[in-house]
């Protein structure tokens, strides 16, 4: 949907975006608590901007307005449009708004048309119902250019013929008046109406084989290739051109040819292929938004941008591909031509641009060829006995190069860009033999080198005192801080071609880590230094340049700090301190006096962590490199931690260049097989009576059919169970053995089965128990007796519920989702009956799964288990608290069942 919901012609959505040239910037995210049935823009008389009308499937509605002064959405009106009596429409709710903003029309119940009038000031008045003769309504729209509000109704009669009819809405009489025209016997596939604005007026009737333009004075029709049109979008204000999207994802342009106000014909042209459209909005300048419920939504000229959509999800599984205790969801997403496999992981995705295998890396840093260069030029890689320098060539490839002023035959401890187009290299202790006057002399090299980034020549050099080696070091654009053996802390400042030692301090213990990252007003100079210590296991804050101790914080324990970082998120300064066992401490830092407060500790992994800052979308983040790499960022002034889809990371540095800008397994068979359940769908059968189970193996990247088994019904579900294959086939739960024939081939052999009342199309299982869902008979608990080779029913829910998903949480708790969007929680078995509580959902649940998507070491489960629920569009995460709440509510219900029990509450 496109319109002027906010000022300056900003395009509205429930997700709202700024549209500027070819850029689409997120503007607003408005949560709607319900499944949206109607979403319409309108502009009442006297208003300077559009308002947004929203109605949900539970008969709630609201009118929203964008307030430009407060940059917030305000609610102009809200209410309930449900009726006590009435049969909900089979074809879904319809909500429409009169083009002249005289009323809102809603078709919610068969045979009724609800009217919400507007008053002269654009305010909503009391709603009322009008009796509608047509019961099988397919679509309703308001017509343009009518003196009275007029609707056109597309309906189907008892003989399955389709017609259109018009009605005038008499607001005073609260009734319909026969409209100006009607049209009978349309295309049997007609199901969509498109009202045409002035000067043409009238309506387009879109069928499967024809498109018809109809008005009081004209009737024009053209044949089309058989297709089902899912969505449309108007291109021109006069309604002469429309975009049509069909079920195959083909985008057509429909043109109404006319001479002034007289329609002379229709033309249709294929434009191309998109995702299967659920909505189409023409934005401007030949840019189109295609919203899809079955694939990714797109902004098109060609395809400017894609908006990822996981739904609808038919099935999914959770696997730990990286063996790190963190699950990843693999989904069967989309429908029709947009079907795909998607991998979803909690955390941040890293897209690999290039890679090269190098062993023994001790550190990496990025350098620029000039201080004001927007892109990085050199990648410095340090090894135990050498330093290599890589640079981008003209083909945007990394190749090895040299910086003459750098020592490449020793290990580099730290590198950084410096002011005045300079580079600084801090090198570790290295020894070599030199001949002077016939004598062999051992020379040690240990110090700081200042190199010109333009000439690449050495400008100045600072050497550490004799007998002291540099152990840790850090630098920024104007400062260098390093620590040598014996607890010596040395502070240098960088000038134009000059390195100056400013201060030297002797500490009582050796130093384990340093940082002088600027977090004040000056991005090139830091007034504070963070120092991590051995022996007393502490972190300290020193002032610069005098190296006076300001704050000492004892960390406790026996694990030393391995990396410290001064950083700022959303205007709040922090000190991050990473320990050698994978824990991270964060403190609030007062930059004026150096005090630390609000100490917090979190586990990010099990190995030492290295902290580095980087920028993304003009915001600063921190990358914690370890066995479980994590990105640390801030949202609403709260630190958050997100896992990264990488394995162990030892070092990280930001790199900004022009080229890279910002199965079923069986117990006695070790092979892996893929089992597929099928059905033969015959037009004369209400339910399939035949199907097959196909068993495939993958050989050389190709599927090979190993075995097949015919079934007496559709195979609705398959799963591995105690070394066998369990199948839900129509009204039967069937267990198959994987048998070895005399000729060495394999076959599926029926082992045991149990009949059920209605269609059993899902189940979830543990070692010996099954929780199954029936199309009409709710949840049943089945037990498999291995010794007897039998399946017995242990308990059931005796309520009639149309189940869409089931899950076993533990021995006493079972989860089920109904087709009417109720999530039921069955807790405890009482005399063979499952006791039940429930909660309403906003979307249809297709599948549920017990799993943990976040790092298991970072979560302490207080009770129960986390549950993934697969709703029609998004993935939902049901917290363990719902399980405990359900147990409490059921206990309360049980205790209140008698007066005496109630007294004990």
Confidence of residue 904 (pLDDT cuts 50, 70, 90): very low
pLDDT at position 313: 84
Looking at the domain assignment, is residue 390 inside a domain? Answer: yes
pLDDT at position 13: 43
pLDDT at position 880: 44
Looking at the domain assignment, is residue 282 inside a domain? Answer: no
609 and 703 assigned to the same domain: no
Residue where one domain finishes, among candidates 799, 814, 845: 845
* CB-CB neighbours of 268 under 10 Å: 15
For the four alpha carbons of 535, 536, 538 and 543, in that order, the dihedral sign comes to negative
Strand locations in 2-50, DSSP E?
15-20, 23-29, 36-42
Q: How far apart are CA 311 and CA 874, in angstroms?
A: 6
546 and 474 assigned to the same domain: no
E strand or H helix at 440: strand 439-445
pLDDT at position 307: 67
Q: How far apart are CA 74 and CA 486, in angstroms?
A: 65
Looking at the domain assignment, is residue 222 inside a domain? Answer: no
In degrees, rounded to 5, the angle at the alpha carbon of residue 263 between the alpha carbons of residues 260 and 269 is 110
635 and 672 assigned to the same domain: no
718 and 841 assigned to the same domain: yes
DSSP assignment of 482-505:
EEETTTEEEEEEE-SS-EEEEEEE
Q: Is 894 helix (H, G, I), strand (E, B) or coil?
A: helix
Pick the most confident of 41-50, 747-756, 841-850.
Answer: 41-50
Span of 29-38, 654-663, 768-777, 794-803 with lowest mean pLDDT: 768-777
Entry field: residues in the chain: 905
**Residue of 140 and 340 predicted with greater confidence:** 140
Residue 206: pLDDT above 90? yes
Span of 51-60, 539-548, 604-613, 731-740 with lowest mean pLDDT: 731-740
CB of 792 within 8 A of CB of 799? no
**Residue of 838 and 91 predicted with greater confidence:** 91
Looking at the domain assignment, is residue 200 inside a domain? Answer: no
pLDDT at position 854: 54
The 10 Å CB-count burial string (b at 16+, else e) for 630-663 is bbbbbeeeebebebbbbeebeebbebebeeeeee
As for how many domains the chain has, the answer is: 4
pLDDT tens sequence across 539-593: 999 999 999 999 999 998 889 999 999 999 888 999 999 999 999 999 999 988 8
Question: Quick one: three-class SS letters along 543-560?
Answer: ECCCCCEEEEEECCCCCC
pLDDT at position 905: 36
Burial class for 402, CB neighbours closer than 10 Å (0-12, 13-18, 19+): exposed
Task: Give the residue from 52, 139, 146, 66 showing the smallest Cα distance to 104.
Answer: 52
609 and 728 assigned to the same domain: no
Strand locations in 368-436, DSSP E?
378-382, 387-392, 398-401, 412-418, 422-427, 430-436
Can you give the pTM of this predicted structure?
A: 0.51
pLDDT at position 113: 96
Task: Determine what percent of the chain is predicted with pLDDT higher than 90.
Answer: 35
Looking at the domain assignment, is residue 207 inside a domain? Answer: no
Residue where one domain finishes, among candidates 845, 866, 900: 845
pLDDT at position 879: 45
595 and 635 assigned to the same domain: yes
Residue where one domain finishes, among candidates 80, 97, 120: 80
Pick the most confident of 353-367, 391-405, 408-422, 661-675.
Answer: 408-422
Dihedral angle of Cα 134, 138, 142, 143, to the nearest 10 degrees: -90
Give mean pLDDT, residues 98-111: 95
Confidence of residue 437 (pLDDT cuts 50, 70, 90): very low
Give mean pLDDT, residues 748-766: 60
**Token digits for 476?**
């920024």
Q: How far apart are CA 18 and CA 627, in angstroms?
A: 40
Pick the most confident of 102-116, 329-343, 359-373, 625-639.
Answer: 102-116
Question: Which residues face 443 on adjacent strands?
Answer: 432
561 and 616 assigned to the same domain: yes
370 and 402 assigned to the same domain: yes
Q: Which domain does 400 fall in, by range?
A: 360-478
User: What Cα–Cα distance (Å) separates residue 352 from each residue in 307, 355, 582?
Assistant: 21, 7, 25
646 and 526 assigned to the same domain: yes
DSSP assignment of 728-786:
EETTEEEEEEEEEPTTS-EEEEEEEEEE-SS-EEEEEE-SSEEEEEESSS-EEEEEEET
Confidence of residue 859 (pLDDT cuts 50, 70, 90): very low
644 and 691 assigned to the same domain: no
Task: Give the residue from 834, 807, 800, 812 showing the smallest Cα distance to 823.
Answer: 807
Q: How far apart are CA 619 and CA 616, in angstroms?
A: 5
pLDDT tens sequence across 693-725: 999 988 887 888 989 999 988 998 888 877 788
Looking at the domain assignment, is residue 25 inside a domain? Answer: yes
For the four alpha carbons of 151, 154, 157 and 162, in that order, the dihedral sign comes to positive
φ, ψ of residue 173 in degrees (nearest 5): -85, -10
pLDDT at position 544: 92
pLDDT at position 862: 38
Pairing state between β 610-616 and 619-625: antiparallel
Dihedral angle of Cα 365, 371, 373, 377, to the nearest 10 degrees: -30
824 and 713 assigned to the same domain: yes
DSSP 109: B
φ, ψ of residue 748 in degrees (nearest 5): -90, 130
458 and 527 assigned to the same domain: no
Which residues contact residue 327 at a Cβ distance below 8 angstroms, ignoring those fewer than 6 apart? 318, 319, 320, 851, 852, 853
Q: How far apart are CA 696 and CA 668, in angstroms?
A: 17
E strand or H helix at 889: helix 881-895
The enclosing domain of 830 has a CATH number of 2.130.10.10
pLDDT tens sequence across 623-648: 998 888 888 988 888 898 888 777 78
**Token digits for 746?**
């394999």
φ, ψ of residue 176 in degrees (nearest 5): -95, 145
Looking at the domain assignment, is residue 905 inside a domain? Answer: no
């Amino acid at each position: 949907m496109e319109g002027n919901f906010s000022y300056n012609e900003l395009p509205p959505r429930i997700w709202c975006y700024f549209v500027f040239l070819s850029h689409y910037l997120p503007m607003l995210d408005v949560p709607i608590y319900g499944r949206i049935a109607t979403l319409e823009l309108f502009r009442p008389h006297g208003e300077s901007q559009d308002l947004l009308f929203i109605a949900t499937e539970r008969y709630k509605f609201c009118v929203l307005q964008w307030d430009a002064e407060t940059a917030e959405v305000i609610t102009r009106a809200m209410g309930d449009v449900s009726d006590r009596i009435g049969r909900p429409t089979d074809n879904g709710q319809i909500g429409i708004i009169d083009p002249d903003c005289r009323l809102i029309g809603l078709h919610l119940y068969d045979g009724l048309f609800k009217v919400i009038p507007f008053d002269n000031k654009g305010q909503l008045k009391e709603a009322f119902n009008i009796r509608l003769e047509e019961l099988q309504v397919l679509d309703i729209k308001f017509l343009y250019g009518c003196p009275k509000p007029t609707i056109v109704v597309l309906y189907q009669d008892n003989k399955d013929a389709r017609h259109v009819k018009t009605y005038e809405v008499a607001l005073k009489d609260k009734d319909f008046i026969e409209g100006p025209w009607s049209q009978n016997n349309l295309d049997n596939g007609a199901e969509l109406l498109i009202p045409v604005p002035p000067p043409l007026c009238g309506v387009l009737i879109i069928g499967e084989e024809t498109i018809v333009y109809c008005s009081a004075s004209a009737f024009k029709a053209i044949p089309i290739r058989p297709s089902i049109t899912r969505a449309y979008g108007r291109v021109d204000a006069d309604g002469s051109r429309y975009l049509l999207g069909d079920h195959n994802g083909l985008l057509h342009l429909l043109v109404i040819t006319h001479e002034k106000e007289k329609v002379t014909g229709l033309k249709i042209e294929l434009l191309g292929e998109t995702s299967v459209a659920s909505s189409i909005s023409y934005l401007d300048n030949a840019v189109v938004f295609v919203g899809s419920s079955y694939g990714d939504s797109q902004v098109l000229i060609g395809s400017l941008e894609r908006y990822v959509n996981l739904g609808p999800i038919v099935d999914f599984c959770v696997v730990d591909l990286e063996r790190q205790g963190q699950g990843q969801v693999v989904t069967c997403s989309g429908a029709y031509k947009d079907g795909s496999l998607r991998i979803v992981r909690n955390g941040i995705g890293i897209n690999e641009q290039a890679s090269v295998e190098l062993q023994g890396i001790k550190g990496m840093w990025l350098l620029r060829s000039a201080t004001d260069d927007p892109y990085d030029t050199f990648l410095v890689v340090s090894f135990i006995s050498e330093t290599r320098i890589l640079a981008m060539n003209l083909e945007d490839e990394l190749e090895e190069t040299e910086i003459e002023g750098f020592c490449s035959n020793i290990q580099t401890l730290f590198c950084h860009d410096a002011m005045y187009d300079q580079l600084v290299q801090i090198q570790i202790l290295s020894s070599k033999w030199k001949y002077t006057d016939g004598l062999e002399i051992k020379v040690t090299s240990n110090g700081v080198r200042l190199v010109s980034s333009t000439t690449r020549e050495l400008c100045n050099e600072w050497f550490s005192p004799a007998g002291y080696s540099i152990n840790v070091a850090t630098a920024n654009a104007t400062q260098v801080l390093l620590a040598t053996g014996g607890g010596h802390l040395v502070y240098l400042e960088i000038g134009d071609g000059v390195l100056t030692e400013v201060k030297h301090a002797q500490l009582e213990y050796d130093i384990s880590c340093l940082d002088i990252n600027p977090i004040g007003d000056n991005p090139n100079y830091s007034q504070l230094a963070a120092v991590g210590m051995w022996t007393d296991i502490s972190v300290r804050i020193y002032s610069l340049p005098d190296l006076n101790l300001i704050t000492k914080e004892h960390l406790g324990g026996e694990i030393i700090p391995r990396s410290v970082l001064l950083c700022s998120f959303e205007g709040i300064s922090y000190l991050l301190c990473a320990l050698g066992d994978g824990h991270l401490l964060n403190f609030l830092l007062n930059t004026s006096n150096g005090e630390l407060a609000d100490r917090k500790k979190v586990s990010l992994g099990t190995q030492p962590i290295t902290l580095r800052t980087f920028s993304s979308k003009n915001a600063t983040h921190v990358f914690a490199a370890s066995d479980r790499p994590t990105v640390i960022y801030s949202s609403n002034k709260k630190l958050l931690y997100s896992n990264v889809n990488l394995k162990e990371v030892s070092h990280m540095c930001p790199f900004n260049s022009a080229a890279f800008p910002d199965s079923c397994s069986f117990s006695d068979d070790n092979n892996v097989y893929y089992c597929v359940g099928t059905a033969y769908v015959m037009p004369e059968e209400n339910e399939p009576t035949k199907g097959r189970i196909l068993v495939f193996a993958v050989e050389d990247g190709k599927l090979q059919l190993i075995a097949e088994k015919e079934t007496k019904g559709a195979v609705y579900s398959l799963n591995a169970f105690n070394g066998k294959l369990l199948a839900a086939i129509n009204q039967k739960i069937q267990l198959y053995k994987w048998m070895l024939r005399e000729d060495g081939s394999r076959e599926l052999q029926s082992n045991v089965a149990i009949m059920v009342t209605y269609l059993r199309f899902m189940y979830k299982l543990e070692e010996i128990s099954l929780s199954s869902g029936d199309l009409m008979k709710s949840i049943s608990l089945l037990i498999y007796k291995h010794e007897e080779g039998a399946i017995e029913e242990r308990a059931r829910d005796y309520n009639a519920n149309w189940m869409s998903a089931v899950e076993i949480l533990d021995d006493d708790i079972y989860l089920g989702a109904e087709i009417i969007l109720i999530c039921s929680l069955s807790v405890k078995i009482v005399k063979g009956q499952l006791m039940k509580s429930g909660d309403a959902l906003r979307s249809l649940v297709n599948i549920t799964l017990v799993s943990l998507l976040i790092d298991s070491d970072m979560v302490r489960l207080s009770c129960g288990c986390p549950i993934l629920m697969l709703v029609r569009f998004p993935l939902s995460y049901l917290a363990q608290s719902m399980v405990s709440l359900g147990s409490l509510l059921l206990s309360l219900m049980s205790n209140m069942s008698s007066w005496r029990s109630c007294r004990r509450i």
